A and B are shown apart, each in its own frame.
Chain A
């Protein structure tokens, strides 16, 4: 189902059908977006449930000023960032390292089926600050346009380019040290 069809259903008052359209078109895309950020299938699965509940409850506030997909990515990204912040606070309260916890998640995830270099890449991305991690994954994995990322993250294109450049350098440097 296209975004246009989804919105037509919603405008006709068929919100259930519109929501089903969103689930059909976006659940897998949003899963991968979240999964790359949280590095765990279990966490991504839990988060996706919360994200779609939020989408359902926030659907009346969607006015069509933004593209549907940027609106959905915004909700998913904000929820994921909140989750990562909570993890950070929990790690700080238990006097443990957030980086070590992220690495453990990658190592313990039974559904991680990449090679060693890909594991190191995942860890290098996990070491990035949250916002840079989001920018890097959106650009590197999803090839998202800076203009769309700007709508999703509410950040200027210039700042996003700079952020990606810095993140790319950090990841590259870490891989360089490890490989």
Chain B
């Protein structure tokens, strides 16, 4: 280890092993000295210039994003409208579907006008209906109390 350490020290003591062409540093200095005058056309005196971005530069990415979104929505809507067929069903077909749905009044589902023109159902009507259908007294009491709060 010491031997190698000495080799590195010896090599260091021998000086730098690199040479340069004769008169190199004088020519280098004169070339480097000319840099400011050569660059005068581009940047006369080195000054710090901080370019401020314009408002349009700042908002441009957001405008581009909004435009892209709008184009996507418009194109999507247009494609859906042209490719989707409207479903037409006969009244019998409507009724057939309505009958298999688990609701008490299937006609009301597809026939919006079913209740048109009818009188509004009062609380008494509901109570009478419940009595007729054999509802318990507790449920009736609950319904009555509900009516009081209406």
A contact set with B: CB distance below 8 Å = 15-16, 19-20, 23-24, 27-28, 31-32, 35-36, 41, 45, 48-49, 52-53, 56-61, 109, 111-115, 117-119, 121-122, 140-141, 168, 171-172, 175-176, 179
In the bound complex, do residue B47 and residue A60 qualify as a contact, i.e. CB atoms below 8 Å apart?
Answer: yes
In the bound complex, do residue A31 and residue B14 qualify as a contact, i.e. CB atoms below 8 Å apart?
Answer: no
> Which 10 pairs from chain A and chain B are nearest by CB?
A114-B17, A118-B17, A111-B19, A60-B48, A23-B32, A172-B4, A113-B19, A52-B32, A60-B46, A59-B46
Determine if B122 is an interface residue (Cβ-Cβ < 8 Å).
no
Instruction: Identify whether the interface residues of B are mostly helix, strand, loop, or mixed.
Output: helix
Which residues, 25 to 78 on B, are CB-close (under 8 Å) to A?
25, 28-29, 31-33, 35-37, 39, 43, 45-48
Contacts of A119 on B, CB cut-off 8 Å? 17
Contacts of B39 on A, CB cut-off 8 Å? 53, 56-57
User: Bound state CA distance, A140 and B39, in angstroms?
Assistant: 36
Determine if B150 is an interface residue (Cβ-Cβ < 8 Å).
no
User: Bound state CA distance, A16 and B38, in angstroms?
Assistant: 12
Contacts of A141 on B, CB cut-off 8 Å? 12, 16
- With A27-B29, A118-B14 already in contact, the answer to whether A52 and B35 are too (CB < 8 A) is yes
